[in-house]
Structure 1
Amino acid sequence: MSQSGVNVASVPGVKDMLTRLISLPSISSASAKWDHSNEAVVRILAEWLEPLGFAVEILEVPGMPGKFNLIATLGSGPGGLVLSGHTDTVPYDDQRWTSDPFTLTERDNRWYGLGTCDMKGFFALAIEAAREFAGSPLKEPLILLATADEESSMNGARALAEAGKPKARYAVIGEPTSLKPVRMHKGIMMERLKFEGQSGHSSNPALGRNALEGMHEALSELLTLRGQWQEQYRNPNFEVQVPTLNLGCIHGG
């Protein structure tokens, strides 16, 4: 079916789209062993969106070879609605999977695969919903946004924010919430601390500088800061009403 210069029939159905997206590894990780490019996912999204009349921009994330954001816009003008998701997934433990993570598998009336919920499934559903508007005049644009590295560095979203893109009036973030609308988010900040010591000898520690002791002092200060924040800030709209601070991992020695 083709209407007003668009080709709706060229876009697969939801299950076929999700099958293809799941088959394309796009893991993001601070570990080079796990980290993948997300380019293949972004390219296939563009391939499906362009026949529906979307104007597609594929933007390489500065300083991140192989990482790309996608902005696809249907219609034009100020305002509009952004449907936003991330293209990457977390790594996986193959010992805990009972099926191939990169093959969409149906079992017990559910679909399984790496990213089915978080969050490649959102793109298939968003594109399916956009079919209804293909070829129709819109008062304000519909924008589909696909970002890189949400599960690790968040450099994809950061690059878009620094570029001031996209601009719209509203946004729906397609993270899984068990179909319960979430209208607020605490936000998140991630930091890495690196301490370099000076070699010495345990017989006279004063001759050196122990990086582990320095890190211990820093962690103690952070935990004190956490306590201060939790005394100072509280929002009853959240199940966890106070700011949280998690010490993720530590390596050294």
Structure 2
Amino acid sequence: MVQSTDTKNRVPGVHDMLARLISLPSISSASPDWDHSNEAVVRTLAEWLETLGFAIEILEVPGMPGKYNLIATLGSGPGGLVLSGHTDTVPFDDQRWQTDPFTLTEKDGRWYGLGTCDMKGFFALAIEAAKSFIDQPLQQPLIILATADEESSMNGARALAEAGKPKARYAVIGEPTGLRPVRMHKGIMMERLQFQGQSGHSSNPDLGRNA
């Protein structure tokens, strides 16, 4: 029990974890001027989770230099529960912020910082909750999953799906829902249609090909 307590104490509390994560820029964007690597966030999470006894797997997203997914597993066997979140944030408008986006700031009983709610705060809470299980015999594994580029390309989650990882029975996605559990999540489907043709003047349309 003393060893378990010492291990837990080597991982910061919720406030300090969140402050550290907020301080690490991990913006994802289709614009190269805004886009950041998420490696620092992933390796920070990995360090804390490894201290708690999680097995760590850091996966580079194919074709996306500087972008990484993290799979941290406590326990072993089939099934299990995934606590899933994304490590990236959206870009920000400096003129609309009243505080430093990369500094966790408390004001009127609330914490402010880029990604505090969506969704670095989820990792701090998930790790704090996981501390209760590090010395327990788990019947199925507990998996904390951290993905890249959810706010832009979604290539992090896509790479995991293509690799068939991780496999589990249930998943909780830590997106903000006003603390109301939502079964299943809204999604989007995007399609790209490409038409080929040949422009032609209306005076002689037979010379063209209408796309």
TM-score (norm 2): 0.90
Contact 1:81 1:171 in 2 (8 A): yes
Give the superposition deviation at 1:9: 1.3
DSSP-derived class of the 1:7 partner: helix
Cα 1:195/1:81, change in 2 over 3 Å: same
Paired position in structure 1 for 2:169: 169
- 2:8 corresponds to which letter in structure 1? V
Paired position in structure 1 for 2:103: 103
Give the superposition deviation at 1:34: 0.7
Aligned-residue RMSD, C-alpha: 2.4
- 2:60 corresponds to which letter in structure 1? E
1:129 is the counterpart of 2:129 = yes
Does 1 or 2 have the higher relative contact order (CA < 8 Å, sep 6+)? 2
- 1:120 corresponds to which letter in structure 2? K
Distance 1:154 1:135 in 2: 35
Paired position in structure 2 for 1:9: 9
DSSP-derived class of the 1:121 partner: helix
Paired position in structure 2 for 1:62: 62
Greater Rg by CA: 1
Distance 2:204 2:141 in 1: 65
Contact 1:14 1:125 in 2 (8 A): yes
Provide the identity percentage: 80
- 1:105 corresponds to which letter in structure 2? T
Paired position in structure 1 for 2:80: 80
Matched length: 209
Any stretches of 5+ residues in structure 2 without a counterpart?
A: none
Question: What CA deviation, in whole Å up to 9, does each residue of 1:149-178 have, x standing for no partner?
Answer: 000110000000000000000100000000
After TM superposition, list the pairs within 5 Å mapping 1:107-186 onto structure 2.
107-186=107-186
Paired position in structure 2 for 1:231: none
Question: What CA deviation, in whole Å up to 9, does each residue of 1:37-70 have, x standing for no partner?
Answer: 0000000000100011000000000010000000
1:190 is the counterpart of 2:190 = yes
Any stretches of 5+ residues in structure 1 without a counterpart?
A: 215-253
Moved more, 190-199 or 39-48: 190-199
Paired position in structure 1 for 2:25: 25
Distance 2:204 2:131 in 1: 69
Distance 2:37 2:108 in 1: 32
Question: What CA deviation, in whole Å up to 9, does each residue of 1:121-155 have, x standing for no partner?
Answer: 00000000000111221010000000000001100
Distance 1:95 1:194 in 2: 39
Cα 1:27/1:195, change in 2 over 3 Å: farther
Distance 2:44 2:14 in 1: 14
Distance 2:33 2:115 in 1: 19
Distance 1:55 1:142 in 2: 10
Cα 1:2/1:162, change in 2 over 3 Å: same
Paired position in structure 2 for 1:36: 36
- 1:3 corresponds to which letter in structure 2? S
Give the superposition deviation at 1:196: 8.5
Cα 1:107/1:198, change in 2 over 3 Å: farther
Give the superposition deviation at 1:74: 0.1
